[in-house]
Amino acid sequence: MAKALVKTDFKFPNQTDARKGKVRDVYFIGDDLLIIVVTDRISAFDFIMPEGIPFKGHILNMIAAKFLDATADIVPNWKLATPDPMVTVGLRCEPFKVEMVIRGYLTGSAWREYKAGARTLCGIALPDGMKENQKFPAPIITPTTKADEGHDENISKEEIIAQGLVSKEDYEQLEECTYALFQRGTEMSESKGLILVDTKYEFGKKDGKIYLIDEIHTPDSSRYFYADGYQERFEKGEEQKQLSKEFVRKWLMENGFQGKEGQKIPEMTPAYCESVSERYIELYEKITGEKFVKADINDVSARIERNINAWLKQ
């Protein structure tokens, strides 16, 4: 089986700090630059799984790079370069303490809450009688707090402004960008026979200006349905054919894990990890319309270090 990159420990020239996220490892260079290495780690229910998924980091990084480039006319973003398939280098911004989640359809955690009886989501009233995977009349924004550790929590626009997490003026700009980015992502997905179901965006500020940061429209932050057969499956109450990380969450739930206390993460066999890798490759090819070319992974760490150092020297 192909080897997955689950850990990094680089020391770059002028490096001031390093932080490890669930999937991304961030290296701070001087005051203005960030190097983000997208590892092959996979997380679900806010837990990092014990095994990595080969080529996952490469796939996520390159999808995000394509969408960052394709949306730069809507809002400026942090990306400067991708010196390695698993690396993006960009501007260091001060992140807002909220994530902008936008939903076009009632599915995933929103559906689980709705099914349990909830009729408001982040302060937004939802009508009775909706079904799983039903399209909303118009996309809704359901923000979450951005937790450094543990779970992100749903929060309303009013609470965000009242708590001073984001100013009213900035929040309205974030909303505007979120709707416009989702519309662009929707159009790009439609051209490839996909439905962009829901996603999240993160924003930051640099020199008083709002930037889109992190990654966008990857299967880790977004959910896609196949457009072909969507309506028929919806009418029959069948599961949608989808490209997202939800299939991993479903596998975990079927095997008794939902991130709750006392639950044990099921064994991720090499065959299972390989099957997840294949699903990620399928998504890459479907959403970009390009054949996925596997990078050399004989020594991923050495390759990444070499490529980043070469870029920094420039």
CA atoms within 13 A on the CB side of 257: 18
Which residue reads 């699903």 in tokens? 279
- The segments of the chain whose pLDDT lies below 50 read none
Q: What is the pTM of this model?
A: 0.90
Dist CA 38 CA 42 (whole Å): 10
Q: What is the DSSP letter of 79?
A: E
Inter-axis angle of helices 56-70 and 168-190, nearest 10: 110
- DSSP string computed for 176-232: HHHHHHHHHHHHHHHTTTEEEEEEEEEEEEETTEEEEES--SSTTTEEEEESTTHHH
CA atoms within 13 A on the CB side of 271: 0
- Residue 220: the pLDDT is 82
Q: How far is CA 213 from CA 72, 79, 80, 121, 304, in A?
A: 11, 8, 11, 25, 21
- Residue 264: the pLDDT is 93
Instruction: Evaluate whether the domain defined by 95-243 bears CATH number 3.30.470.20.
Output: yes
Domain coordinates of the chain in residue numbers? 95-243
Dihedral, CA of residue 284, residue 153, residue 197 and residue 140, to nearest 10 = -140
CB burial class (10 A; 0-12, 13-18, 19+) of residue 265? middle
- Residue 1: the pLDDT is 53
Report whether 59 contacts 243 (CB < 8 A).
Answer: no
Question: In the numeric block, which tokens belong to residue 60?
Answer: 């996520």
- Residue 146: the pLDDT is 83
Report whether 121 contacts 142 (CB < 8 A).
Answer: yes
- Residue 2: the pLDDT is 65
Q: With the C-alpha atoms ordered 246, 5, 88, 170, is the resulting torsion angle positive or negative? A: positive
